[in-house]
Structure 1
Amino acid sequence: MSLLERVRAAVAGYGPLTEVEMFGGVVVDWDGDPFVGVVDDEVIVRVPGGGWEPATGDLQDAVNRAAGVVLAECVVRWHEQLREQGDDSYRAMLALTQHDPEREQLQRTLLGLLRHPKLGQLAFTCLGHLARYDGEVLPEVVPRLKELLDDPELGVFADEALWDVEVNTNPFLLWRHSLPWVIFAPPGDQEVARQLPLAEAAGAVVVVVPHAEALPSLREYVRDLCQEVEDRTHTADEDGNLLVDPNKPPFHYVLEYDGDIAALQPLLHDQEDLVAVFKAPYLEVW
């Protein structure tokens, strides 16, 4: 394998990539920024300050360090573009959402842009993306999105972002029309206890069944519960397809199970009948 082929293998996880002629050799350009190349039969990599040096040590480590240098410079440039609010600001916001290491400050920046006439819609979208990437958001994000739900122009974007945030930062949503319909949880689970008041405030119906480990014919019992949830939350459309009826309250069952919840997954999972997914410590069924 030639030196250039080794470099190509080392940068394979990055993209989009372009090879350009530079310094009398070949340099790999990562989304507009050169960061590694082969010149005079030697691998060179970017270093802080815009310079280059020969790669030393493990090639993959050298490439990763060079990519980190470029990325740090890109983050600074993207923030400048976002502040300028020009044509590059859209792409800059998306790039920051994926790459900015200062996640809390980025969220505050996005919250400040929600009412921006040009960038507001994308700011809502990026908050949802952040929740999906990181699995968490700042405490002020959800209340701020809820404040905007009744806004005639921004409400639809706030609702979409709120859904993304809730789905990606909670193991399940007892206060929403959502999967799963049946949840196996340890007795006295703190997450269930936290969500029960939210469900009550939203008008959702949550039935907690204690000592589910003592129930006979557990599979048939859970199938009947899922059917009940479907009957109570869905309505047939003109073509006979069952759809969630937003006029009906959300409905969920929580089965407290004092035992090995993970072991229930193969018992209950049947793609033609029940879908059961174990996400420790919960088993979600629909």
Structure 2
Amino acid sequence: MTLVERVREALSGFGPMREVEMPGGVVFEWDGDALAGVENGVLRVRVEDGWAAVPDHADLSDVTRRAADVVIAECVARWHEDLRALGPDAHRAMLALVHHDPEREQLQRILLGCTTKPELRELAVTCLGHMGRLDREVLPEVVARLEELLDDPELGGAAEDALDEIESRVYPFRLWRRHSVPWVILAPPGDAEIARQLALVGDPDVVVVVPHAETLPSLPEHVRKLCKEVAERTHGDPGLHFVLEYNGDIVALQPLLHDEDQTAVFEEPYLLVW
């Protein structure tokens, strides 16, 4: 395998890489920035203060990763400038930042500010949803802002889609899901979402956690009784629900709990029943 082929293989995980031929070799560019180059059998890569030749014995995966970090940091700075300028490259810059900006909370706040800018507001809403899907975490003000926009005649649809992305990844069995409220949730023992939801809701009369549900006799019948209790007490509105910590094969329970009178949906790693 030639040096160019080895470098190409080492860079394959960084997304589309443009190869530009030059006298005696080739330059590898990422988003228009030169990242590495092979000239007359010598590999040179980007470093913070310019370029450095790479010894023959070097680990190409490590060398190219560090070079990519330098280039991506430069690109992130440029994308922020493009976004602030609100010019023709602002949309592309926003999308790129969602995938590559390491300062995630700062970027969420920037996107929140962009939801008031006519030329960027729809894409900013969409990108907030993408960040929830990618990071599985968003600032509370992101959800609040998206809920404000649900009634916006222009952005309501985009806000609803973004909330769906966030709710499915960040709050997988959130009490106030808008499309359907699970009455009984079977979750792996010790799952972080149980503690997260209890902290969010802060009301023991709303969320009831049942540990060691696998020890309950006739579990399917027990779940049916809980669903009936929720339906009677809440009349179908968001309210009381039960979280059962189940140490076993949750997927195998789905066909036992799903029939014409009751819906059971598996959304990894949870089984939602209503």
Task: State the TM-score, normalized to the length of structure 1.
Answer: 0.74
> Within 5 Å, which residues of 2 pair with 1:207-218?
208=208, 212=213, 215-218=216-219
Unaligned runs of 5+ in 1: 201-205, 233-247
SS for the counterpart of 2:140 is coil
Which residue matches 1:55? 54
CA contact (8 A) 2:198 2:207 kept: no
Unaligned runs of 5+ in 2: 259-263
CA contact (8 A) 1:113 1:119 kept: yes
SS for the counterpart of 1:216 is coil
Structure 1's 83 and 210: CA in aligned 2 closer, same or farther, altered over 3 A?
A: closer
SS for the counterpart of 2:52 is strand
Structure 1's 131 and 210: CA in aligned 2 closer, same or farther, altered over 3 A?
A: closer
**Matches of 2:91 and 2:138 in 1, distance apart?**
21
Shift of the alpha carbon at 1:267?
Answer: 4.5
Asked whether 1:103 is paired with 2:104, we answer yes
**Matches of 1:40 and 1:271 in 2, distance apart?**
67
> Within 5 Å, which residues of 2 pair with 1:1-286?
1-49=1-49, 51-56=50-55, 57-176=58-177, 177-178=179-180, 182-184=184-186, 190-194=195-199, 196=201, 208=208, 212=213, 215-222=216-223, 224=224, 249-250=237-238, 253-257=241-245, 261-265=246-250, 267-270=252-255, 276=266, 279=269, 283-286=270-273
Q: Deviations over 1:23-68 (max 9, x none)?
A: 531122223222112211111111224x322124311111011111
Shift of the alpha carbon at 1:112?
Answer: 0.9
**Greater mean deviation of Cα atoms: 269-278 or 39-48:** 269-278
CA contact (8 A) 1:225 1:253 kept: no
The AA in structure 2 aligned to 1:182 is V
Shift of the alpha carbon at 1:167?
Answer: 2.7
**Matches of 1:48 and 1:209 in 2, distance apart?**
52
Task: State the TM-score, normalized to the length of structure 2.
Answer: 0.77
Shift of the alpha carbon at 1:91?
Answer: 0.5
**Matches of 1:209 and 1:128 in 2, distance apart?**
29
Structure 1's 277 and 142: CA in aligned 2 closer, same or farther, altered over 3 A?
A: closer
Identity over aligned pairs, percent: 51
The AA in structure 1 aligned to 2:184 is V
Which residue matches 2:261? none
Shift of the alpha carbon at 1:139?
Answer: 3.0
The AA in structure 2 aligned to 1:43 is L
**Matches of 1:48 and 1:138 in 2, distance apart?**
32
Shift of the alpha carbon at 1:70?
Answer: 0.9
The AA in structure 2 aligned to 1:184 is L
**Matches of 1:181 and 1:267 in 2, distance apart?**
19
SS for the counterpart of 2:154 is coil
CA contact (8 A) 1:110 1:124 kept: yes
CA contact (8 A) 1:107 1:138 kept: yes
SS for the counterpart of 1:16 is coil
